[in-house]
Structure 1
Amino acid sequence: MELKVAIVANKEELTIQVVYRLRRLLAQAGIPEDPLQPTIVISVGGDGTLLSAFHQYEAQLYQVRFIGVHTGHLGFYTDWRDYELAEMVASLQNEEIKSISYPLLEVKIGYANGKPKRRLLALNESTIKRGNRTMVADVYIKDELFERFRGDGLSISTPTGSTAYNKSVGGAVLHPSINAMQLAEIASLNNRVFRTLGSPIVISDNDWLQIKLQHSSDYQVTVDQLDIPQDQMDTICYRIAQERIRFVSTRHMHFWHRVKDAFIGDSEAHEI
C-alpha cells in the first residue's frame, strides 16, 4: 500500500513551526501528503488534537493508522516529541510498518420522536448528565435491568479513556489490551430509599449497556470532546465497537509507563 500522510494540528505557535519542519522532512523523504485518502494520519499537538484527528478520519479506520506528535508534555496518545521529527519520518520509510490497535466505544442514541438512531464512535468516553437537576435513568446490562440510577450522571469509557474523566470520578485504570468498557457513576445518590451499586463496573465485549432516560429536554451527552444536541433522547446504548483504532507501533510507549509518567512521575524524587 502506498504511503500517504495527512496532518492534523492545533493552532498553537509551536505546533505551526513543528508542522512546517514536518512537511519539509516528509517532502525530502518522498512521502506525499493526501488529506483525503491517507494511510497515515499524523496528529501534532496534544491528546485533544489526536481526538479531533480520530473523529475526522473515523470513517476510514480500516485504511488509516495514527501517529501522535506532542508539542507539550507527554500525552497518552502521543509517542513522539517535537524534537524527534527526523527519527519519526525515518521510521515511516520501513517497508513493513507494524501497528497496535485499541478498542473503541460504539454509541447509539435513540429518540422518542421516532427519529432514526444515531451511531457514533468514542475513543475516550461518553458521558450523560442532566443540566443542574438530578438525573434518573434505568441501567440495563444485556437487556436485563441492573439498577435505577440517581445522581449527577454516568461515564462510559474505553480502556484508553479510563485515564481521563473516568479516573477523576473514581473509575479504575484499564490496560488497552482488555477489550471492554467501563461504567462509572458520577455522584450517585445512595441512602435508605435510593440504592445503586456505587462502584465502577467493567463490561465485556460480549455484553452491552442500555441507558433508558426519563423524559426531559435538558440532557447533556458527550462523545469524546463532542457535545451531542438534545433532541428528545430516550435511550443510549453502548458496546465495544467492531472498529478499532490503529497506531503505528515503531515507537509505541508502554501503557503503564504512560500512566506512571502522567500521574506519579519520577518515583525516586519522592523517596525520603
Structure 2
Amino acid sequence: MEDRMNIFIYSKHDKDSLEKKSKVEDALIHEGFTITEDDTKANIIISIGSDGSFLQAVRKTGFRQDCLYAGISLTGKHALYCDFHYNNLYEMTQAIRGAKLKVRKYPLIEVAVDNQQPFYCLNEFSIRSNIIRTFILDVIIDGTLFETFLGDGLIISTPTGSTAYNKSVRGAVVDPLLPCFQVTELASVNNNTYRTLGSSFIMSGNRNLKLKVHQDGNDFPSMAADNEAIGIRQVENVEIRLSDKVIKTVKLKDNSFWEKVQRIYL
C-alpha cells in the first residue's frame, strides 16, 4: 500500500535488540519505506521480539486506530501476534506493500477502575489478591448480581487473549471473530456461604461487567493490563466492557487465528 510508508519500530533497548532493529530499518529503507522515531507520525507500527513485545508496542503507542500493527518474531517461530520472522523480512515488506492487503481486526476490552480514566487490554485484565489470603468480589452483569466470588482472583480475556493466561487455567479458546469477552476464575472457593459457577463463561460484547471488591482489608488487589501491572490503591469497583476499538494487523494467507493456534499448541 503506497499510503502506508511511514514506519515506527518498537524494540527492547538491550544491545542485541537494538542491533536487530537497525538491520530491520535498513531492510525497510531499502524497500522504500520511511523510518520515523515519532510513533504518532507512523501509519505502520512494528514490534521486534515476542508476543510480549507486540503487546507493549500496542500499549506504548496508545492503541492506535489509524495505523497497522505488525510483529516480527526473533525466535524463528510464528507467535500469535508476530506474523513475520526476522530472517524473512522480504515477506513482511511484500505483505505490507500488497495492493490487495487484507487487515485482521483484534478486539479490545475497556476497563475503568473506580470511575477513573479507562484503559484498554488486547489480551486480558486480571485482578488477584495481593496478600496471602483469598478475597471477595461481587460479579455483577448488566446491573444484576450474578455471583459472589471467593478465591484468588479473576481473568477477563479477549478472544485472542483466550490463548494466553486464560488458557493456562483451563479457560476456553475463543474465535476472535466473535465480539465477546471471557471471565475465568482463579482458585475459587465454593462452600455453604460462597458459590460460583465454577467454570469460565463467555459474555456478549453488549454486556457490561462490574466487579465490586469487598472492603475487608484486602482492598488493594494486584491488577494487570496484559503484561503491565496497574498500581491503584483502595479499589472498590472495576467496570469492564468490550471496546469499540480494535487493533489492526496484516492478514496473511494460510495464517488464520486457528492455523496459528494449531501451530502453537498442537
Please report the TM-score for the alignment, with normalisation by the length of structure 1. Answer: 0.89
Residue of structure 2 aligned with 1:42, choices 3, 21, 46: 46
Encode CA deviations 1:19-76: one digit per residue, 9 max, x unaligned.
22211111112211123311011111000100000101225x2211111110014311
Aligned to 2:26: 24
Give the drift of 1:208. 1.3
Gaps of 5+ in 2: none
Encode CA deviations 1:159-195: one digit per residue, 9 max, x unaligned.
0000111111121000111110000010000123321
Deviation larger for 30-39 or 91-100: 91-100
Q: Does the 8 Å CA contact 1:210/1:236 hold for their aligned counterparts? A: yes
Q: Which residue identity does 2:258 align to in structure 1?
A: W
Encode CA deviations 1:198-237: one digit per residue, 9 max, x unaligned.
0111010110100001124431111111111132211001
Aligned to 2:214: 214
Q: Does the 8 Å CA contact 1:99/1:246 hold for their aligned counterparts? A: yes
* Matching of residues 138-149 of structure 1 within 5 Å: 138-149=138-149
Instruction: Indicate the SS of the match to 2:59.
Output: helix
Aligned to 1:228: 230
- Equivalenced residue count is 258
Aligned to 1:151: 151
Tell me whether 1:196 sits opposite 2:196 in the alignment: yes
Q: Does the 8 Å CA contact 1:124/1:164 hold for their aligned counterparts? A: yes
Q: Which residue identity does 1:68 align to in structure 2?
A: G
Q: Which residue identity does 1:136 align to in structure 2?
A: I
* Matching of residues 79-94 of structure 1 within 5 Å: 79-94=83-98
Instruction: Indicate the SS of the match to 1:167.
Output: helix
Deviation larger for 89-98 or 18-27: 89-98
Q: Does the 8 Å CA contact 1:79/1:252 hold for their aligned counterparts? A: no
Please report the TM-score for the alignment, with normalisation by the length of structure 2. Answer: 0.91
Give the drift of 1:124. 0.2
Q: Does the 8 Å CA contact 2:84/2:91 hold for their aligned counterparts? A: no
Equivalent pairs: percent with the same residue? 32
Q: Which residue identity does 1:142 align to in structure 2?
A: D
Gaps of 5+ in 1: 111-115, 265-272
Q: 1:257 to 1:14 in 2, by over 3 A?
A: farther
Give the drift of 1:137. 0.8
Aligned to 2:67: 64
Aligned to 1:78: 82
Residue of structure 1 aligned with 2:108, choices 90, 104, 107: 104
Instruction: Indicate the SS of the match to 1:188.
Output: coil
Tell me whether 1:8 sits opposite 2:10 in the alignment: yes
Aligned to 2:244: 242
Q: Does the 8 Å CA contact 2:8/2:35 hold for their aligned counterparts? A: yes
Q: Does the 8 Å CA contact 1:136/1:150 hold for their aligned counterparts? A: yes
